[in-house]
Amino acid sequence: MSTQELSAIGYDNKSPKFNGNNYAWWKNRIQNVIMGIDYECWLVVKNGPNIILKTDVEGNQVPKKDSELVIADYKLLEKNAKAMSILQQAIESRAITKYIAYNHEGKGTPLVYKEGKEMADLAIWMEVEAHQFDQVAYKLAWELVFKSTFGLQTDNAVVEENEAKSVKILDVYEAHLSKFKYLAGDSFTLADLHHLPTMHYVLGTKEKKLFDERPHVSAWSKDILARPSWGKSLALQKQT
């Protein structure tokens, strides 16, 4: 969700962000923030998402189909989306993965470098992902994937603007990946891992062509998306 959209629902960057530390403090603070923005959103967080049901011919309560939703239903679904957006913006997932990678480096695949040029390259590409790639890719995912889930219309102007930005960013990636297998060198690291969530959604849209047109970007994206750990993550998402 864009800064403008977050501002429209009352969220601001001063709200507490969870980075893996002081959970009890963050939990109390974010509860107060969400209640202040929209108490109904807090009820979604506390009790679970609104599920729109109908009574079928046998008298059972079953979920409505998208075609059966009415305006009142959309308003309830928007509460779900609003609550989720606030929480997503309040959780520093990159800080959490970095904390885990450094403090549990002996378990599983090493994801960080601790010295020399490799450490510097890792830091640079983590910044590129957070402030260049994700800023554009998330807007594409929002317009082309998430909006339809909530019954909202895609803004084609936003799509075209961010597609043009993606072209420039992926050209840089293509040149770099022509020299290295992964972003920070020849080993999979957090710089690659942090691309997975948003990339997964974007590659399910027409924007996949931007990756396919660049052979090194295409090979890299297929490689990291095929990792068993990412497959397990997707399987867990389907269970929730």
| pLDDT tens-digit series, residues 161-219 | 999 999 999 999 999 999 999 999 999 999 999 999 999 999 999 999 999 999 999 99
CB 10 within 8 A of CB 38: yes
Fold observed for domain 110-240: Glutathione S-transferase Yfyf (Class Pi); Chain A, domain 2 (1.20.1050)
pLDDT in tens, 24-42: 888 888 899 889 889 999 9
Q: Round the average pLDDT of the chain to a whole number and report it.
A: 87
What pTM value is reported for the model?
0.69
Q: What is the DSSP letter of 13?
A: T
Domain ranges in the chain are: 1-91, 110-240
Using CA atoms, how far apart are residues 46 and 169, in angstroms rounded to an integer?
Answer: 39
Q: What is the DSSP letter of 185?
A: B
